[in-house]
């Protein structure tokens, strides 16, 4: 929310700088995101008085105006505005002043207009950068000292950007924020006084019919405007600070009261709308033309106001109708101020894509008591500025609202929850300054009645928060919990996940993270299915990803279209068939397919080994559609299936010439986590040499099958045996695999005789 | 053969070998020289063979000299081999070694610090019911704070969790059921919001920690967070607690850490997350009696401090698998 520094200083009776206000509000109440000085008006733009008005000799629509802008200074300007009158107090730009014209900001020069010299310019507010309503030049509503820079008459101001949390609708106006500021700087607070509704005898009061539950209050007044009025500069300055356009004195006043108290108000042109108001939820859809000129499709359930003829006057709390809006010729208005169901308004606003200043406040559950105060304040200002007079008594509707109860707190409770707390006397002062009425206070605690604007206070904890923030969180000492240490649990899924990540990185693979979404086309490319989101951010992110491989493969290819050798992995939750599963996906690109496979399987075996298991592999015939049939492998560890791998189908491999091979694997982290924690078993090693022998076979079956046959040969007692692939040979006529068998003695040295006997047990190798 | 002649020959042979060795500038030439003189059929072996045929007297007089010469050449040719010039300022191999995501590493670093304080890791699913994500945390269907949680729904009731706090209630209940009180949990994970711009990603990481016991205070919350932040970001970093509103904590605060200074010397604050004392209604939903057990919780965003710590220019980098970026986080 945009907050005028002058305004809150005035209300809180403080003289704080923007920095001081920002620091205090941030540390006790609402975060100030920043501040900036309002656009400064050029010093050469001054107040002046019109002395004479004469016709222009060469142009019918121009006039020669002589103004005084100091005790002796007079000058003559050529002016085209229709509203220049002798005696008026106006805004004069002197040569060299920065003014806003059709072509943006420019420096004013002395010049000749249709043959007559013009030494300055009479300005509208728009021409000096202020919010502007009406046509022609600006005329002050009351006499002002002449020759004073406009900037001085307005007072320069700073605008703070304050973030108001959802629980504090009372801070959506300057009065509420000033109240917080006063409490924060420990100054007594005095509520601004608002006169009561003027008494009116006789006449007809407007009628209010409420046909919707949830409307907590409505106040209306039928007013006749005895003068058009001019929005005073002090109000314009504050509208400007809030970034609100000036529109019409009535609308400006209502906007001003909204900024002051946080309560939005609405006025209908009473001659068009009438004074009989019905507030009801729509029964059927209808098209509505808003005062912004846009048309909206309202739906059943939207809250609207209607008149006797059933015409819609406004989407309550959101937007008025064009037909019944206040306009230049408005002579009577129907003022409406109320408290409306936040949820209904919010749903309507969201559906229509409307975010008005009024809705932003209503949807935060405004305190009901606020409406009547804002109503009286508006009557006061409308009377002052537009000469508004009641046409009859005012009308009021009060719906059902649970009365806020009292809240009790013991001083011990506060200290127990915070670790330290203000003294009872301080506690009382803090709560009083925030508007709480102290109903009872004893040695051990107090009972308070929250003010009407604090419906968020219901529990002792709520009161403790009030104390803590105003007293200052920085005054609460820091401490560490003391207690018995719990035995740490080893091998949790979290630990396993990080073991896997580290294992893959140690294998030389780089980790990336992705957002687990995919488009329908991407799913199709992988031949996978996954649930769609109801409201995706875009069609690119329309589905949850069913596999970590989708983003890994496609995004790496996008970043490196000229794919070169490399290895990547990513991990996290994915959603095959809507069931959440945690996996890790691995992508290896290498010019040599055999090398790629061996890199991949070394990485997978490393992961499995770090968990205390040995990797088992077998050909995988029911492979996913994105792997080449007959070139997929199933991974197992500890008798459990833990994942699969294989060669990517050509549609997924980079198109570049000489592009490397793409090998993919996906392991289930959930399956790995289900393996009982196990330490790697270490065999004893005898201080005697190990022996190795190589065996070469024709590569006429999957390597894992051949290896399985070798592994099936019983290991002789007393030795540790390992079998590893050491070479592959591929030629057009034949391909071979060479395995190295190593025997390590555990009990006694190995003799040549034994070794020869053991080797004879293996299938006969190629010579 | 005369003793004199043999002895001279031997001296000449040693001199010749030494010269040849000195002239050898590469390992290959050194190997050749070594083979020529010390090899099985090298010059010295040849000399020894001849010497074997000589008289016992000759053997006696020359034997010692021959053994010395052999020893001398062997020592020379072994020692010199290690002495080849070596530039020890050669740069190390420039191969990528595998890398880990700085986001997950930061998260794990925070988890490990919490584990040292006796907190155990817990978690929960990413797809949750809206009652778990919102209602259980005091965010009723029309709560205005729901606006800050624009979410991805799968159907009317299921959505991707918008905050790690969603997992808190269930995790606390499990601990209470197992009789582990005080409850000390740390919950790292991925959360989702329906937004994407320069400072927001649709999926990001958070770390929540909760404590529930009969002694929980805001003081503890401050102490634990200050310890965690200083362990992670350095002892000089200041932590500040700023009032805020979360429906599930009361009192609530936001946590800022100081990161550098403004031109005027005042600290620059970086928002790290939110915290507070667990709301009594939330405590009740875990199955605990809020009259007996109180709790505190905090939730930290992971991505933002990683950006600041490493000077990374955009959130998008994290999900952009460019090896030129990733390899800077090599092991």
pLDDT of residue A533: 92
Whether the predicted pLDDT of B95 surpasses 70: no
Q: Is the pLDDT of residue A732 over 80?
A: no
Closest Cβ opposite residue B98 in set A510, A513, A536: A510
Report how many Cβ contacts below 8 Å link chain A to chain B.
221
With CA atoms as reference, the chain A residue closest to B203 would be A515
Mean pLDDT value of segment B83-105: 79
**Per-domain residue ranges for chain A?**
2-38+157-184, 45-154, 207-398, 407-475, 493-673, 691-760
The pLDDT of residue B125 is 94
Is pTM beyond 0.90 here?
no
Fold topology of A45-154: OB fold (Dihydrolipoamide Acetyltransferase, E2P) (2.40.50)
Helix, strand, coil fractions of chain B, as percent rounded to 5: 45, 20, 30
Record: contact B182-A535, CB cut-off 8 A: no
Q: B81 to chain A nearest CA, in Å? A: 29
Instruction: List all residues of chain A from 298 to 357 with a beta carbon under 8 Å from chain B.
Output: 342-343, 346
Tens digit of each residue's pLDDT (9 = 90 or more) over A287-310: 999 999 999 999 999 999 999 999
CA-wise closest residue to A572 among A503, A490, A634, A512: A512
Query: What letter does residue A651 receive in the DSSP assignment?
Result: G
Cα angle, residue A208 at apex, residues A207 and A213 outer, rounded to 5°: 165
- How confident is the model over A310-357, as pLDDT tens digits? 999 999 999 999 999 999 889 999 999 999 999 899 999 989 999 899
CATH number (3.30.56.10, 3.90.640.10, 3.10.180.10, 3.20.20.70) of A2-38+157-184 reads 3.30.56.10
Q: Please list, in sequence order, all residues whose beta carbon lies within 8 angstroms of the beta carbon of residue B287, skipping any fewer than 6 positions away.
A: B173, B176, B177
pLDDT in tens, A581-629: 999 999 999 988 888 999 999 999 999 988 889 899 999 999 999 999 9
Check residue A763 and give its pLDDT.
94
Average pLDDT over chain B, rounded to whole? 88
Q: How high is the pLDDT of residue A654?
A: 77
Ranges of beta strands (E only) in A385-520 are: 388-390, 395-398, 407-410, 437-441, 445-449, 510-511, 517-518
pLDDT for the residue B148:
65
In three-state secondary structure terms, A632 is strand
- The predicted-structure confidence for A7-64, as pLDDT tens digits, reads as follows 999 999 999 999 999 999 999 999 998 888 876 678 889 999 999 999 988 888 889 9
| pLDDT of A403 | 66
Greater model confidence, A656 or B269 = B269
Average pLDDT on B239-256 reads 95
CATH of domain A407-475: 3.30.56.10
Please check whether residue B317 touches A, CB under 8 A.
Answer: no
In this chain, the answer to whether the domains covering A2-38+157-184 and A407-475 adopt an identical fold is yes
Q: Residue B189: its pLDDT value, please?
A: 96
Domains (ranges, CATH) in chain B? Answer: 3-82 (no CATH), 102-329 (3.30.930.10)
B203-225: pLDDT as tens digits: 999 999 999 999 999 999 999 99
Domain A691-760: CATH superfamily is Ferrodoxin-fold anticodon-binding domain (3.30.70.380)
pLDDT score for A134 = 63
What pLDDT shows up at residue A694? 94
Find the helix packing angle between B56-82 and B3-23, rounded to 10°. 10
Mean pLDDT computed over A700-726: 91
Lowest mean pLDDT among A114-128, A135-149, A202-216: A135-149
pLDDT digits (tens, 9 = 90+) for A506-535: 999 999 999 999 999 999 999 999 989 998
Q: Is the ipTM of this complex over 0.90?
A: no
Q: pLDDT tens digits for A448-459?
A: 999 999 988 999
Token pair for A553: 């493969």
* Residue B197 DSSP label: B
For B39, the token pair is 């090899």
Q: Pick A105 or B184 by higher pLDDT.
A: B184
* Residue B251 with chain A: CB contacts under 8 Å: 417-418, 461, 464-465, 468-469
* Domain A207-398, CATH: 3.50.40.10
The CA distance from B288 to B277, in Å, is 15
Q: Which CATH superfamily is domain A493-673 in?
A: Bira Bifunctional Protein; Domain 2 (3.30.930.10)
Q: How confident is the model at residue A411 (pLDDT cuts 50, 70, 90)?
A: very high
Nearest C-alpha of chain A: how many angstroms from B113? 13
Q: Average of pLDDT values for A719-729? A: 90
Tokens 């409770």 found at: A413
Mean pLDDT of A551-555: 95
More confident residue, B177 or A155: B177
Q: What's the pLDDT at B2?
A: 56
**Residue B154, pLDDT above cutoff 60:** yes
- What share of chain A has pLDDT > 90, as a percent? 63
Q: Please give the pLDDT value at position B197.
A: 85
CA A660 – CA A98 distance, rounded (Å): 65
Partner-chain contact B154 A578, CB within 8 Å: yes
- Nearest chain A residue to B189 by CA distance is A572
| Confidence (pLDDT) at B85 | 67
């Amino acid at each position: 929310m945009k907050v005028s520094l002058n305004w809150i200083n005035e209300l809180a009776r403080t003289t704080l700088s923007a920095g001081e206000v920002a620091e205090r509000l941030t540390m006790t109440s609402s975060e100030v995101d920043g501040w900036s000085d309002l656009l400064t008006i050029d010093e050469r733009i001054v107040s002046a008085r019109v002395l004479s008005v004469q016709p222009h000799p060469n142009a019918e629509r121009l006039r020669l105006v002589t103004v005084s802008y100091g005790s002796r200074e007079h000058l003559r300007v050529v002016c085209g505005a229709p509203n220049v009158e002798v005696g008026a107090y106006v805004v004069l730009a002197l040569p060299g002043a920065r003014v806003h014209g059709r072509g943006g900001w420019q420096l004013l020069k002395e010049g000749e207009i249709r043959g007559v010299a013009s030494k300055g310019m009479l300005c509208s507010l728009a021409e000096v950068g202020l919010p502007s309503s009406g046509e022609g030049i600006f005329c002050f509503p009351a006499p002002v000292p002449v020759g004073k820079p406009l900037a001085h008459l307005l007072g320069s101001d700073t605008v703070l950007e304050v973030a108001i949390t959802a629980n504090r609708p009372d801070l959506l106006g300057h009065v509420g924020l000033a109240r917080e500021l006063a409490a924060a700087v420990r100054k007594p607070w005095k509520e601004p006084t608002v006169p009561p509704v003027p008494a009116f005898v006789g006449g007809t009061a407007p009628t209010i019919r409420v046909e919707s539950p949830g409307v907590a209050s409505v106040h209306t007044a039928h007013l006749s405007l005895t003068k058009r009025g001019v929005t005073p500069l002090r109000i314009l300055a504050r509208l400007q600070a809030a970034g609100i356009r000036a529109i019409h004195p009535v609308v400006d006043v209502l906007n001003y009261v909204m900024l002051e108290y946080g309560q939005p108000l609405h006025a209908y042109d009473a001659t068009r709308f009438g004074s009989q108001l019905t507030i009801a939820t729509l029964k059927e859809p209808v098209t509505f033309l808003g005062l912004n000129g846009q048309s909206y499709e309202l739906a059943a359930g939207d809250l609207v106001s209607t008149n006797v003829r059933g015409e819609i006057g406004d989407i309550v709390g959101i937007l008025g109708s064009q037909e019944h809006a206040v306009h230049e010729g408005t002579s009577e208005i129907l003022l409406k101020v109320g408290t409306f169901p936040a949820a209904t308004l919010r749903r309507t606003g969201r559906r229509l894509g409307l975010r008005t200043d009024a809705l932003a406040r209503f949807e935060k559950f405004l305190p009901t008591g606020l409406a009547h105060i804002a109503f009286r304040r508006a009557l006061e200002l409308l009377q002052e500025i537009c000469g508004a007079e009641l046409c009859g008594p005012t009308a009021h509707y009060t719906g059902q609202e649970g009365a806020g109860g009292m809240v009790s707190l013991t001083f011990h409770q506060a200290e127990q929850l915070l670790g330290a707390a203000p003294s009872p006397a301080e506690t009382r002062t803090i709560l009083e300054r925030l508007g709480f009425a102290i109903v009872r206070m004893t040695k051990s605690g107090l009972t308070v009645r929250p003010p009407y604007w604090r419906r968020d206070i219901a529990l002792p904890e709520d009161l403790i928060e009030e104390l803590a923030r105003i007293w200052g969180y920085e005054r609460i000492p820091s401490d560490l919990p003391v207690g018995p240490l719990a035995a740490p649990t080893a091998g949790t899924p979290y630990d396993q996940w990080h073991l896997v990540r580290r294992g893959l990185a140690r294998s030389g693979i780089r980790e990336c993270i992705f957002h687990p979404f995919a488009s329908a086309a991407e799913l199709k490319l992988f031949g996978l299915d996954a649930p769609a989101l109801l409201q995706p951010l875009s069609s690119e992110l329309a589905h949850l990803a069913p596999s970590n491989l989708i983003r890994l493969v496609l995004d790496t290819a996008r970043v490196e279209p000229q794919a070169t050798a490399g290895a990547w992995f990513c991990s996290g939750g994915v959603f095959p068939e809507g069931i959440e599963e945690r996996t890790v996906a691995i992508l290896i690109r290498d010019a040599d397919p055999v090398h790629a496979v061996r890199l991949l399987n070394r990485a997978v075996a490393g992961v499995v080994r770090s968990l205390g298991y040995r990797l088992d592999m077998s050909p995988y015939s029911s492979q996913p559609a994105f792997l080449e049939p007959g070139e997929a492998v199933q991974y197992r560890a500890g008798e459990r299936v833990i994942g699969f791998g294989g060669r990517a189908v050509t549609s997924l491999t980079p198109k570049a010439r000489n592009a490397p091979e793409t090998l993919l694997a996906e392991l289930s982290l959930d399956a790995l986590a289900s393996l009982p924690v196990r330490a790697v078993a270490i065999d004893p090693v005898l201080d005697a040499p190990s022996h190795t022998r190589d065996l070469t076979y024709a590569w006429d079956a999957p390597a894992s099958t051949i290896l399985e046959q070798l592994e099936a040969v019983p290991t002789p007692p007393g030795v540790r045996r390992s079998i590893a692939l050491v070479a592959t040979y591929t030629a057009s006529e034949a391909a071979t695999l060479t395995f190295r068998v190593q025997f390590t003695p555990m009990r006694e040295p190995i003799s040549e005789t034994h070794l020869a006997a053991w080797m004879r047990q293996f299938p006969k190798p190629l010579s | 053969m005369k003793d004199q002649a043999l002895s001279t020959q031997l001296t000449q042979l040693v001199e010749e070998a030494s010269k040849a060795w000195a002239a050898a500038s590469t390992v290959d030439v050194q190997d050749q020289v070594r083979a020529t003189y010390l090899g099985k059929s090298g010059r010295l072996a040849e000399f020894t063979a001849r010497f074997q045929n000589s008289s016992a007297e000759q053997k006696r007089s020359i034997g010692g000299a021959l053994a010395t010469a052999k020893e001398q050449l062997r020592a020379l040719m072994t020692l010199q081999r290690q002495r080849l010039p070596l530039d020890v300022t050669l740069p190390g191999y420039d191969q990528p070694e595998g890398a880990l995501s700085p986001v997950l590493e930061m998260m794990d670093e925070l988890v490990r610090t919490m584990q040292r304080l006796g907190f155990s890791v817990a978690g929960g699913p990413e797809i949750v019911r809206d009652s778990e994500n919102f209602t259980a945390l005091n965010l009723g269907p029309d709560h205005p704070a729901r606006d800050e949680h624009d979410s991805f729904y799968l159907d009317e009731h299921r959505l991707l969790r918008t905050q790690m706090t969603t997992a808190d209630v269930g995790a606390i209940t499990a601990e209470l059921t197992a009789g582990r009180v005080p409850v000390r949990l740390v919950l790292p994970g991925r959360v989702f919001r329906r937004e994407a711009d320069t400072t927001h990603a649709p999926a990001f990481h958070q770390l929540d920690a909760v404590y529930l016991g009969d002694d929980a205070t805001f003081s503890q919350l401050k102490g634990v967070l200050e310890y965690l932040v200083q362990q992670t970001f350095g002892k000089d970093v200041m932590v500040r607690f700023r009032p805020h509103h979360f429906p599930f904590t009361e009192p609530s605060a936001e946590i800022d850490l100081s990161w550098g200074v403004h031109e005027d010397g005042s600290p620059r604050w970086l928002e790290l997350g939110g915290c507070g004392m667990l709301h009594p209604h939330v405590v009740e939903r875990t199955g605990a009696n809020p009259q007996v057990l109180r709790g505190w919780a905090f939730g930290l965003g992971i991505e933002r401090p990683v950006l600041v710590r490493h000077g990374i220019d955009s959130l998008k980098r994290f999900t952009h698998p460019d090896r030129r970026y990733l390899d800077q986080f090599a092991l």
